[in-house]
């Protein structure tokens, strides 16, 4: 899944309107966090996540690990906020 610059800009614009759904704190990335993200991707293609200052893992590493664990793509890291994208699966006819 490779997005063009134009597609990423459009997704970032949509992400500006979203509210943060998931916070990563002192426990870092847990199985519960991954499951919450998976559940959110059932109904949405874009998810906004915030890495709190108490998180022991750098935000870039959090973004990379969660993207690989959830088969999603990091669209933007702005401050401590990360925007993830995963398209809905193609409907089989």
CA neighbor of 82 nearest in space, from 53, 52, 49, 60: 49
* Residue 13 confidence (pLDDT) above 60: yes
Domain that holds residue 50: 5-85
The pLDDT value given to residue 57: 93
What is the CATH number for 34?
Answer: 3.30.110.60
What is the count of structural domains for the chain? Answer: 1
Angle between helices 59-70 and 31-41 (to 10 degrees): 60
Which tens digits make up the pLDDT trace of 36-73? Answer: 999 999 999 999 999 999 999 999 999 999 999 999 99
The reported pTM is: 0.90
Q: Is 91 within the bounds of a domain?
A: no
Q: What is the pLDDT of residue 2?
A: 81
């Amino acid at each position: 899944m490779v997005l063009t610059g134009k597609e990423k800009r459009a997704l970032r614009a949509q992400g500006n309107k979203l509210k943060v759904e998931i916070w990563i704190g002192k426990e870092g990335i847990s199985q519960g966090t991954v499951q919450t993200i998976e559940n959110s991707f059932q109904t949405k293609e874009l998810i906004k996540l915030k890495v709190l200052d108490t998180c022991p893992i750098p935000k870039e590493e959090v973004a990379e690990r969660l993207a690989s664990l959830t088969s999603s793509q990091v669209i933007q890291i702005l401050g401590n906020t990360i925007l993830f994208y995963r398209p809905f699966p193609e409907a089989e006819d």
